[in-house]
Amino acid sequence: MSRLKFDYVKLGPYRRPIIPVRLTYGNNSINTQALIDSGADFNLFHLSMARNLGLNLNINKPIIFGGVGNKKRNLTGYMGVLDLMVYSKGSNIEFSTSIVFSEDIPSNGFPLLGEFGFFDHFEEIHFYYKRGKVVLQDKAN
């Protein structure tokens, strides 16, 4: 069982549980930072990342969603399956997961790690807001 600890990242007056992740599809990888969001139903990344990885998305099966930012209309994305690795200080946890990729979200915002596709891959996720820490513990094999 692996346990990874991260410090919150300070953005202006706020602290956020933003962690480093690596997306891999085939021989292509992208390192980025993503926000752990217990209010997000699924993982959500900008469509440009799927394109950069060479991921072919089925545009005939759009995912319609809402609730991101202050958008009042429905947003559209496309589901892809790839490997996601969370890493910290020489340790990592890696798993295959679904991610919704969308052009309807800001390209300069943080990707979201949500309930389906992230939280469900861990035994426990602890948020220690006052201490500015988040701890991820993977499921026992």
Domains of the chain (ranges; CATH) run 3-138 (2.40.70.10)
Count the helix, strand and coil residues of the chain and give each as a percent rounded to the nearest 5: 5, 55, 40
Read off the tokens for 39: 């209010």
pTM, 2 dp: 0.92
Q: What pLDDT, in 10s, does the model give residues 82-124?
A: 999 999 988 999 999 999 999 998 889 999 999 999 999 999 9
